[in-house]
């Protein structure tokens, strides 16, 4: 299995920050890290999961109503600042707001063609629009369910853990489409069921390992 650090390897740090991503880069355990992007008031692409800043700062308000300069004060970085980090690890990017100015995103992505960038979205339309730019990065679909019409439209697929079975995994493997798994939420039973699937990429919140003495998966305690 390959492990992707969900919103970075946070430890005791804030999620989706330069520190969290640097933690993941410096830890050989992780094959890459995941992050979320939105647009700021000044139309810059910033890295944050929620539409509000309330959960990750001691302030309140919508991301779209804050400038990138304001957001930086709250430890919310620009996407470009993240892509400037020195790494050859996989960078998995989720587009959170579907009305994002894709021209701005493409300009940034094209500056970093040497990076292993994977872009995903819950919106098929967003990915369809990105496909027209002929980007060098990989484009994928993120969803709770598996539709029959997605096989050949994407470079990779990001599936909810409850959807997976051997048949589905084999189906995508035959087409050379990478499979990422989300929704694990540190659920050790879910990881246990996937332990022999070496081609999978598991999006996880913490480091985990298999304890042979007790025959079980365990998470690193923070």
Report domain 2-219's class: alpha beta
Task: Report the chain's mean pLDDT, rounded to a whole number.
Answer: 88
Q: pLDDT band for 143, please (50, 70, 90 cuts).
A: confident
pLDDT value for 70: 97
Helix or strand or coil: residue 139?
A: strand
| pLDDT tens, residue by residue, 57-76 | 999 999 999 999 999 999 99
173 or 38, which is more confident?
Answer: 38
| pLDDT tens, residue by residue, 169-210 | 888 888 889 999 998 876 667 776 776 777 899 998 877 655
Residue 149 has pLDDT above 80, yes or no: no
Residue 113 has pLDDT above 80, yes or no: yes
Weakest mean pLDDT among 19-33, 54-68, 88-102, 198-212: 198-212
Structure tokens at 16: 């989706």
B/e letters for 182-201, b = 16+ CB within 10 Å, e = fewer, are bebeeeeebbeebeebeebb
130 or 10, which is more confident?
Answer: 130
**Extents of the domains making up the chain:** 2-219
3-state helix vs strand vs coil in the chain, percent to 5? 25, 25, 50
Helix or strand or coil: residue 104?
A: helix
Residue 93 has pLDDT above 60, yes or no: yes
């Amino acid at each position: 299995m390959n492990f992707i650090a969900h919103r970075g390897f946070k430890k005791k740090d804030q999620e989706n920050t330069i520190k969290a991503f640097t933690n993941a880069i410096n830890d050989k355990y992780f094959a890459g890290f995941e992050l979320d992007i939105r647009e700021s008031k000044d139309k810059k692409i910033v890295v944050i999961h929620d539409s509000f800043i309330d959960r990750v700062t001691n302030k309140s308000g919508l991301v779209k109503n804050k400038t990138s300069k304001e957001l930086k004060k709250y430890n919310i970085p620009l996407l470009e600042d993240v892509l400037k980090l020195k790494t050859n690890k996989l960078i998995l990017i989720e587009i959170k707001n579907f009305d994002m100015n894709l021209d701005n995103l493409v300009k940034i992505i094209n500056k970093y063609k040497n990076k292993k960038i994977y872009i995903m979205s819950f919106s098929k339309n967003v990915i369809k629009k990105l496909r027209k730019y002929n980007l060098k990065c990989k484009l994928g679909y993120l969803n709770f369910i598996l539709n029959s019409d997605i096989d050949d439209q994407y470079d990779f697929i990001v599936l909810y853990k409850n959807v997976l079975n051997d048949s589905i995994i084999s189906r995508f493997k035959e087409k050379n489409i990478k499979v990422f798994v989300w929704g694990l939420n540190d659920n050790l039973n879910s990881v246990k069921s996937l332990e022999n699937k070496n081609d999978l990429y598991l999006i996880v919140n913490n480091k985990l390992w298999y304890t042979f003495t007790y025959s079980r998966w365990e998470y690193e305690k923070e």
